[in-house]
């Protein structure tokens, strides 16, 4: 069942997602060579709690941390640890917050120091694919229109789309219906209606689409070891249009101050 949200519920969801964005902006200036991924996790957890939220990922289905921190060929669900970020790495940070009974969920892939032009293009195309998907999230269209837009653009640029992991509804539960694949056919899937709240999150690989899971039971990597990028917005269909509840602008403002 898809749970459509009222205007009041959308405003509560906005607060949760804004705290996610502020958490990203807090750690963004710290993402540089030498910092351990576990340090980013601890800072994020403290910030979330200090601002009235609860880490949405911590203990979710047994996940041990507040952030998913996925480096280079790690697609998603990376477990923070003692790995020190290095110049030329990329790191996807996925953050969730529970506040006022509703979840926020957003991800951003950060370059670490100077990255190659090849990697810069992967990041750019993945973010562009996200926004092309957002353009299709219109009342009266279908979920498959979002999926097709993301897949068509990513593959047209020579990249591949992960199949095993998808976007999802967001609300009182972190993962609600409907699923939002990053691949599919136009005109397919549930119709997009007023009050729908979903997380759209392209996971785009530089190489092939196949992935494997680490022995930690969480981290998903590309099978061929090539880099993967991940960007995610939570959005609402509100007043007939797309209302982006999360926020990349404050993340990018924080990065520009580094």
What pLDDT does residue 240 have?
A: 79
Instruction: Report the pLDDT averaged over residues 163-182.
Output: 98
Instruction: Report the pLDDT averaged over residues 172-190.
Output: 97
Q: What is the pLDDT of residues 70-108, one digit of tens each?
A: 999 999 999 999 999 999 999 999 999 999 999 999 999
Please state the pTM of the whole predicted model: 0.97
- Averaged pLDDT of the chain: 97
Q: Who's near 155: CB < 8 A, 6+ residues apart?
A: 161
Question: Residue 67 in contact with residue 74, Cβ under 8 Å?
Answer: no
Q: What is the pLDDT of residues 29-56, one digit of tens each?
A: 999 999 999 999 999 999 999 999 999 9
Percent of the chain topping pLDDT 90: 98
Instruction: Name the architecture of domain 7-256.
Output: Alpha-Beta Complex (3.90)
Beta bridge partners of 69: 93
What pLDDT does residue 258 have?
A: 66
Beta pairing, strands 220-222 & 197-200: unpaired
Q: Who's near 192: CB < 8 A, 6+ residues apart?
A: 137, 138, 139, 140, 141, 142, 143, 145, 237
Beta pairing, strands 54-55 & 90-99: antiparallel
């Amino acid at each position: 069942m898809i749970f459509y949200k009222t205007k009041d519920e959308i405003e509560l969801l906005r607060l949760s997602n804004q705290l996610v964005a502020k958490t990203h902006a807090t750690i963004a200036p710290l993402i540089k060579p030498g910092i351990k991924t576990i340090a980013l996790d601890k800072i994020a957890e403290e910030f979330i709690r200090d601002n009235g939220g609860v880490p949405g990922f911590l203990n979710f289905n047994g996940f041990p941390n507040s952030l998913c921190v996925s480096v280079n060929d790690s697609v998603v669900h990376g477990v923070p640890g003692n790995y020190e970020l290095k110049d030329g790495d990329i790191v996807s940070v996925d953050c969730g917050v529970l506040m006022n009974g509703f979840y926020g969920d957003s991800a951003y892939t950060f370059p670490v120091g100077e990255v190659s032009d090849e990697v810069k293009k992967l990041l750019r195309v993945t973010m562009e694919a996200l926004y092309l998907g957002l353009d299709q999230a219109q009342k009266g269209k279908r979920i498959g229109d979002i999926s097709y837009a993301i897949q068509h653009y990513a593959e047209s640029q020579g990249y591949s789309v992960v199949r095993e992991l998808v976007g999802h509804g967001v609300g009182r539960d972190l993962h609600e219906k409907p699923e939002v694949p990053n691949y599919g056919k136009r005109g397919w899937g549930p119709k997009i209606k007023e009050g729908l709240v979903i997380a759209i999150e392209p996971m785009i690989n530089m190489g092939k689409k196949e992935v494997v899971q680490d022995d930690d039971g969480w981290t998903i990597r590309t099978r061929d070891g090539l880099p993967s990028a991940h960007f995610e917005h939570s959005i609402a269909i509100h007043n007939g249009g797309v209302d982006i509840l999360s926020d990349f602008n404050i993340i990018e403002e924080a990065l520009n101050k580094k």
